[in-house]
Structure 1
Amino acid sequence: MTALRMLLLTLGAILMVIPFLWMVSTAFKTPPELNIYPPSFIPQQFNFDNFVAVFETAPFHLYFFNSLRMAVFSALAIVFTSVIAGYIFAKFRYYGLAFIFSLLLATAIVPFEIYMIPLYLQMQSLDLLNKFSGLVLPYLVMSFGIFFMRQNVIQQIPDEILESARVDGASEWRIFFQLVVPLLVAPMSALGIFAFIEAWNAFVWPLLVVGDKSLFTMELGLAMFQSSFSIDMTVMSAGSVISVIPILIVFIFLRRHIIQSISMTGSK
């Protein structure tokens, strides 16, 4: 049974990795090589001109910086707000707090397409269109992050530890930063990666609120390779490879915390 489970997991991992490897392979191919049948997985001749063409077609260094700035700012804000809100919802008892948490949790199941237009009208009324603040504002709070920190992590911290700190005269902010936060390094890292990926892959919202090309993100920049009649797959694949690099770097450096967070979630 164990061998069968390992075989199924291995096959699933291979199926998930193949599209990524095919994208990397396409990034090094020439346009004529894409029309060869049967298609070749390994490029016959590695073509590095596609990566040069990415930056010659558009200022992708600026798009890369915009995406990185948005993703980092969003990840830090979501981790901060999720930990504070999760701590309040888990360890404080006030009238109506449970209702507020339920209302907040209900927003997680509402598709973005439902409130996309009202959110756009709000940004318009606040004069935040074509501004970085309007681009990143909807990505400062994540309802799933609050639920994740409250349900799976903070509630596992014994109340006796917090009460003993209060008896010793510690303030709530000192308890939070010196006692609670150090216990949440692993889940905070996992949540930070989720938030980073969500902001980095954002496409519809930047497409709505950003018209100035100087504020374009990587996802909007990659869409420039698609015209009404054709798609330059080789250059687009090269740009996609560049776009994936920051996510891989973040995952490589924080993967230990992700695994630790998952194991903590399944334990009492």
Structure 2
Amino acid sequence: MARYSRVRIRPGTVIIHIVLALGAAAMLLPFIWMLSTSFKPSNEVITWPPQFIPRKPTVGNYVEAFTAVPLMRFFLNSLLVSTISTASILLTSSFSGFIFAKYRFPGRNLIFMIILATSMVPFQSYMIPFYLMVSGLGWISTYQGLVLPLLVMAFGVFFMRQNIVSIPDELMDAARMDGCSEFRIYWQIILPLCKSAMAALSIFAFKNAWGDFIWPLLITNDVYLYTMELGLGMFQHRFTVDYGSITAASVISILPIITVFVIFRRHIIEGVTLTGIKG
């Protein structure tokens, strides 16, 4: 007869899983409530006691969200800015990380520390000088002005450097012996080995650009250049808030971030894990 070994479950493990489950529920609760409210008629939104499941579900809030404001234009503006920002951050961060990880030059560590230090400086502290610079370029209320502060990310340089530093130097030496240029080594050897880290960085960069609010508010005077974050504020009137429409618009707003995470979730987890244990 086959013997079955008992699996001992420690009380501490059970407590940890319960705490994690409660924490996950606490984080998911606002999203579930937002999704539920987006399908509620206006008279159900403020009823007490509140109910998660709408009594009379309706898609009227979504129709109102698209008709009350140019929501699709806001969505496309955010998508354009976030895509350009993400592509630029992936390129600049991976290339800079490659330089700092694999090359020795005077002042390398000092420059790297300065780059890291800039990530600790809040954007609000240099927002006005940055605005004056963009104004001097004539980029107020333009796509160039919207995307300019989002083209680089100090954290991205650190993140990619930590991943690239773990790649054996022997691969680069072998490529040089085969006649590869330094750029070809970066493009055909380093980047393919950093797919997981770049997938993780992509969602960080996309989320950062998609959720940006202060800079678009400062730089944009044209409603047709508004991003989704600015567009959501148009549902809040002077004395009232259209909760049904604003929650419907919010659901639409988070769809791209969820989509990016679902597509790259395996690479994201691998990239964060590998970057944390290497270097």
- The alignment-based identity, stated in percent, is 48
What is the rounded CA distance, in whole Å, between the counterparts of 1:107 and 1:145 in structure 2? 12
Residue by residue over 1:169-191, the C-alpha shift from the partner in whole angstroms, topping out at 9 and shown as x without a partner, is 21101111111000000110110
Match of 1:165 among 168, 175, 191: 175
Pair 1:184 & 2:194 matched: yes
* Alignment partner, residue 128 of structure 1: 139
2:20 aligned residue: 9
Q: Deviations over 1:166-221 (max 9, x none)?
A: 23321101111111000000110110011001111111100000111111111111
Residue 156 in structure 1 maps to residue 169 in structure 2: no
Displacement of 1:161: 1.9
CA radius of gyration, larger in: 2
1:236 aligns with: 246
Q: Which residue of 1 aligns with 2:84?
A: 73
Residue among 230, 233, 238 paired with 1:223 = 233
Between the two proteins, the alignment pairs up a number of residues equal to 267
Q: Distance in 2 between matches of 1:72 and 1:143?
A: 18
Deviates more, 1:74-83 or 1:159-168: 159-168
Partner amino acid, structure 2, of 1:243: S
1:79 counterpart letter in structure 2: L
4+ long deviations beyond 4 Å: none
Partner of 1:247: 257
Unpaired segments of 5 or more residues in structure 1?
A: none
What's the CA shift string for 1:70-110, capped at 9, x where partnerless? 11111111011100000001111111222211111111000
Letter in 2 for 1:198: N
| Partners of 1:266 and 1:111 in 2: CA distance | 24
* Amino acid paired to 2:64: A
How far apart in 2 are the matches of 1:245 and 1:12? 22
Q: What is the aligned partner in structure 1 of residue 152 from structure 2? A: 141
Which residue number corresponds to residue 213 of structure 1? Answer: 223
Q: Secondary structure at the match of 1:156?
A: coil
Aligned to 1:111: 122
Structure number with the higher helix fraction is: 1
For 2:79 and 2:45, how far apart are their aligned partners in 1?
31
Letter of the 1:49 counterpart: G
- Please say if residues 38 and 244 of structure 2, whose CA atoms lie closer than 8 Å, have aligned partners that are also in contact: yes
Question: Does the alignment pair 1:82 with 2:100?
Answer: no
Contact 2:159–2:275 (CA under 8 A) maintained in structure 1: no
The one-letter code matched in structure 2 to 1:249 is T
Gap regions ≥5 residues in structure 2: 1-11
CA RMSD of aligned residues (A): 1.0
Q: How many Å separate the matches in 2 of 1:262 and 1:120?
A: 34
Measured in 2, the distance between the counterparts of 1:96 and 1:264 equals 27
